Chain A
């Protein structure tokens, strides 16, 4: 009963998605967006006409204006600085526009250009001081805030009457502030255009990347040849220009130069920036975050105003939000990776029935024996991590090594070892094709082809991305074993899409179907995912009908058969399940049956833990990996089975001293060669009654050997 509940709970609740979503970079934007939706919903519920077109247009107008300033501040913050003088620049450029238009009577285009220039100039003062003279951004912009504000105060004392008494009636000027296209205010439209450009600029263009790089690490950016000082200076100039654009729209809309214009604006904009998720430390941020932040702040202030809150309350609310947002930002940035690593591992319910007996005297096909005790050893202490072994028709022995090489032991005595090909990743399963090319699965890299003269070529390292996966699973993470069909289709397994090769124990701890089987067409070069949701798929062998493959699911402790052609195309059937150990590679035997390596054996304590996902999740959090309960892969065996799922024979090394681990085996001319991924040796075992001329892939391709 309890197990049923647990199993249902873990089948239908996707625990693994939380970690995958959190590790996406867009979550940092998604959280402010959710906040925005919540606030929007709450306000539209409590305030009438909150979502009416007039109200929305008004919000959009304000949002556009503040949005420009926020964009400028975002740039400055991303590059690693801060600009407190935006409020004063806003006031000064507002004055500039109105003075030029109302007092001097300049034409509108000239006013626009001159105002933008004015903004650029004011920003450039900050830029030169901070970028080139290396002053602290905070103190510098605090000083320019005061200076600009004083200048503004002096100027309006002289000219405010002149400006206030003028009522220019210029349609193009009014259109800037009050016009709309299809009901959308001009300012919002211009903002959208500039925001789209800003997004492209930050994410796709070189200067945008430079800005992010400088914010991330100024010194590294300098060392990589980025013009740090100039870029920083230009960011402040851009901030000035963007602020002056906002001032232009504001001037056109209201046409006033009151004493409190732009006062406290920096707090509003800064709150919007931090609330949107742009980190104050620099190096992280986007246009979308800035826009979302502005909307949240506007909704809150407008909402409070509509609810007749006093000005003081309004500011206090903003300051409080800024404080909380900055705190959350700092804690999140500091603990992000820790939180993700804690929630990423998501064990699931995995129940196996009690395994068949293996003890001596208990009988059964898995009864232990000591047949493998006296295997000969090849390359002891010289080869490291031969996961799979294969022999060519000249009896040379090939094996992978953890140094990323395919090593070749020369026949007949296998004393000479040479590097056949260097690939760079851990070679796993191997197979020869019709042209004697060696296809190898490389952990972490993909499927590779090595021509008979030792040239390494990439076959594939990418498949189609699945639509329902949060993680991008198009790249191959752990290609494991393969076999080639008569039509030149290569079926290979990818053990897990959630972890790297060295993290296989974590996948074992999760015991979820994270793996898949992929096909690669040697004729067209197309790669396609055939099956997914498999529990660590491993060994693969083409079945005798040529229309199906047998594959092993290591943590599923089963062998299954998948039809890729013929009448049963697309079907999967269980050949054997509830094995007493963890199946690894499968290869053809000379008598038409199959060899299967059991890399490790099941232990009751882990079988029980697999039924208790909560226990494993806590273990993953509290206990270091070295102390985790592991699948026992110190003892294994080789079994021979047929397509009907019957175990014909088993070969054990009781104490595992000679050849501790078996991940693969290959029959060749009357001998069985044994590989093990954590071994420093290759085993060679003389088989009784085996075909002395059997060369696996020559028989397969019908070649004389």
Chain B
């Protein structure tokens, strides 16, 4: 009763859960335009995920699996469904998630038949695969109801149905590690647990067996996505899009959200996107007005590009940005390859390369 009254008062006064404040890009997240000045390795139609195996960089591009080696890309194979996650296995193998519903393990990238196939009925939106220390696979599933590419609806429906699975290729069993997550999208082994990106709760959560998820890095101004281990300890955390006060507000407006989802095409929703500025039918916010021919980089981002370097404790050290006036938005995957960091900016469909040498010094100062 008291809770109901408090919730009503909060809604009426715009307090508590009804506040729409978004943390600012501050400290280690101080904005720069680093992602705008990096080299584009490759432009492809629908890059989704990356995996590195020695000198080979595997790129999931729609249904195709590409291999980038020595400056050129070649198609390794293609699948009947879009690849929604990719992971290199020890010994030259590769794991792919197809359409979010099926995970296949191949002994080598061009192998005809999969070594193991996991096709649980529970799988709905497998969006990231990562290797655990005991050679099992960790898979994150964003939503139990919305497909991999339908994440904006998942956000707008306020779903909290993300799950984390452990796939054991040896026993061919699937164990659920966590459920009820706000869009699990990306994971990394961390001690005896798993560090999981929980996009809709804007945090990195630590999932350990037998305990409820614990926040490691919270209150992010972005929606975090895939994670990758960094050399020298720590992680690369990508953020596929950023939060805005308008979207936070719309998330608290059930009637508008319901009608928006029913009456408006998804690309014109008031929702975060991987790229923006394609059509004038997209929602425009006050600060987006081009004044004297310039769109302001500080305008509220409908799409954004960001990758954050975390230390071994999951705390941010520095970050690389592409701001509102940039194009390299929708960073969904980052992985180290030799002395470089390779990223996917899904918005413009680019694979980017950033030399790591001197990067920390440049961005930490």
Contact = CB atoms under 8 A, between A and B. Distances in A.
A421 to B, nearest CB: 23
Given A628-B246, A632-B280, A605 B286 contact: no
Nearest to B245: A627
B286 A625 contact: yes
Interface stretch (B153-161, B259-267, B336-344): B259-267
Interface stretch (A152-160, A333-341, A524-532, A614-622): A614-622
B356 to A, nearest CB: 34
Nearest to B267: A604
Contacts of A384: 292
Contacts of B249: 618-619, 622-623
Contacts of B259: 608, 612
B305 interface: no
B153 to A, nearest CB: 15
Contacts of B300: 626-627
Interface in B234-267: 244-246, 249, 253, 255-256, 259-260, 263-265
Interface of B is mostly: loop
Contacts of A618: 249, 253
A629 B287 contact: no
A429 interface: no
Contacts of A632: 280-282, 284
B182 to A, nearest CB: 22
Contact of A634 (B14, B265, B270, B290): B290
Contacts of A564: none
B292 A604 contact: no
A630 B285 contact: yes
A660 B295 CA distance: 10
Interface residues of A, number: 38
Contact of B256 (A608, A630, A631): A608
Contacts of B299: 626
Contact of A623 (B246, B282, B289): B246
Contact of B286 (A600, A627, A656, A660): A627
A623 B281 CA distance: 21
A626 B285 contact: yes
Interface size range of chain B in the complex: 35 or more
B293 A604 contact: no
Question: Which one of B246, B263, B268 has the highest number of Cβ atoms from chain A below 10 Å of its Cβ?
Answer: B246
Interface in B1-29: 14, 18, 20
Given A606-B283, A608-B259, A660 B293 contact: yes
A477 B42 CA distance: 55
B256 to A, nearest CB: 5
A622 B244 CA distance: 13
Given A384-B292, A622-B14, A679-B293, A627 B287 contact: yes
A680 B292 contact: yes
A604 B263 contact: yes
Interface in A581-613: 600-606, 608-609, 612
B291 interface: yes
A629 B290 contact: no
B246 A661 contact: no
A605 B268 contact: yes
Contacts of A680: 292-293
B264 A679 contact: no
Given A605-B269, A624-B245, A634 B285 contact: no
B101 interface: no
B288 interface: yes
A208 interface: no
A678 B286 CA distance: 13
20 contacts: A384-B292, A601-B280, A604-B264, A604-B281, A605-B269, A608-B260, A612-B256, A618-B253, A622-B20, A622-B249, A626-B300, A627-B286, A627-B300, A632-B280, A632-B284, A634-B288, A634-B289, A678-B292, A680-B292, A680-B293
Interface of B: 14, 18, 20, 244-246, 249, 253, 255-256, 259-260, 263-265, 268-270, 280-293, 295, 299-300
